[in-house]
Amino acid sequence: MAQEPIRIGLLVGREWSFPPAFIEEVNRRAASTGVIAEYVKLGGTMMNEPVPYRVIVDRISHEVPYYRSYLKNAALQGVRVVNDPFMWTADDKFFGASLLTKLGIPSPKTVVLPNKDYVPGIKHDESLRNLIFPLDWWDLVNSVGGFPLILKDAHGGGWRDVYVIHSMEELWHHYNHSGLLTMIIQEFIAWDEGLYARCMGIGQEAVRVMRYDPKQRYYYPEHGFDPQLAQTLHDYTLRICQAFGYDMNTAEFAVRGGVPYAIDFMNPAPDMDVNSLGRGHFDWIVRTMADQMIALALGPTSTADNYKWGALIRPQPQVNAPSRARGG
């Protein structure tokens, strides 16, 4: 009797190029690997519902919160979720900048600001007694090196709410319109002509260094960096992916005076579209995602060891139901 295949599930949004290419690539190898890939189908989930997948590749739970809940349950059942839903829920650009500095990877000086607005029910004089008011704006600005600086959402993505700021008036204007967001200000890294990179890390093992033009949002087919710089970009990217436990991630670097500064390095659902990446990068990503996800599907299944947050989901001894008080 033929053995049941091991399954990789895919959760996707509107993207049309990566998902079918990935599924086709995994299934093309199924006869020799015993692993297949398919779209996950969901319609409401029972707690502790068993999950028929060994690995789930998640491209969209940041926009479909039910999927995030489903994935945390899946992690608890021993599924390797790419990327770790617990870490993804917790990451932000301020924490990231602090972590990278601890790891010895250059990143722009960064300050997180108190929120501008609050949910209804927060009364400034009663609910916010821990906050100093007014803020010492010059002190905050000087601590990231003055103007120009970057103001952006600590939880942002896709270039939403990113501003280059040249004056206090501009800073106040955009801060005053930031609403409930948590904004950071950051040293502006003016990169040397053409020296900007976006690097794709897959499986905490494989890295593709790509030269990128953020103004045109264009990936060059060949990076053309000198080998030493390319090696540093490779090593930093790998280190970052390992630190966050992210199995697919892009890290952006602006190179100033020969030093690559990590600008944006937590992208747990990175751009994998053939039209933006170009054929060469796209084919590498499809092939490498297949290699790495199949390896994960065939790897050890210990839930706790799969995650940075393993302690949370390490199997616990069952708590005995309290014995009923007698009598009464």
Ligand X SMILES: Nc1ncnc2c1ncn2[C@@H]1O[C@H](COP(=O)(O)OP(=O)(O)O)[C@@H](O)[C@H]1O
**What contacts 24+ positions apart, CB below 8 Å, involve 32-36?**
33/294, 33/298, 34/3, 34/5, 34/6, 34/298, 35/5, 35/6, 35/7, 35/8, 35/294, 35/297, 35/298, 36/5, 36/6, 36/7, 36/8
25 is an interface residue for Mg ion by CB under 5 A = no
Determine, following the binding rule CB under 6 A, whether residue 188 of this chain makes contact with ligand X.
yes
How buried is 145 (Cβ within 10 angstroms: 0-12 exposed, 13-18 middle, 19+ buried)?
A: middle
- Pick the closer one to Mg ion by CB: 79 or 266: 266
For the segment 210-229, give every residue that binds ligand X (CB under 6 A).
Answer: 214
Nearer to Mg ion, 150 or 293 (CB): 150
Instruction: Please state the φ and ψ torsions of residue 243, each to the nearest 5 degrees.
Output: -65, -40
Q: How far is the CB of 264 from Mg ion (least distance, A)?
A: 4
Q: Which of 223, 264, 272, 288 binds Mg ion (CB under 5 A)?
A: 264
**φ and ψ of 283, to 5 deg:** -60, -40
Helix (H, G, I), strand (E, B) or coil at 12: coil
> Of the two residues 53 and 244, which places its CB atom closer to ligand X in the complex?
244
By CB under 6 A, tell whether 159 contacts ligand X: yes
C-beta of 34 vs 278, nearer to Mg ion: 278
User: Judged by CB under 5 A, does residue 91 bind Mg ion?
Assistant: no
- Which region, judged by CB under 6 A, interacts with ligand X, from 16-24, 97-105, 187-195, 218-226? 187-195
Nearest to 54 by CA among 32, 30, 37: 37
Which residue's CB atom is positioned nearest to ligand X?
Answer: 264
CB of 121 to ligand X, least distance (A): 30
**Site residues for ligand X, window 33-92 (CB under 6 A)?**
none
Closest to Mg ion by CB, 254 or 285: 254
Determine how many CB atoms are found less than 10 A away from the CB of residue 224.
Answer: 9
**Residue 263 near ligand X by CB under 6 A:** yes
Does 202 help bind ligand X (rule: CB under 6 A)?
no
Whole-angstrom Cα distance, residue 175 to residue 167? 12
Residue of 43, 65, 120, 158 interacting with ligand X (CB under 6 A): 158
Cα–Cα separations (whole angstroms), residue 281 to 105, 220, 265, 288, 316: 25, 9, 18, 10, 43
Which residues in this chain contact ligand X in the complex, by CB under 6 A? Answer: 108, 150, 152, 156-160, 162, 186-189, 214, 252, 254, 263-264
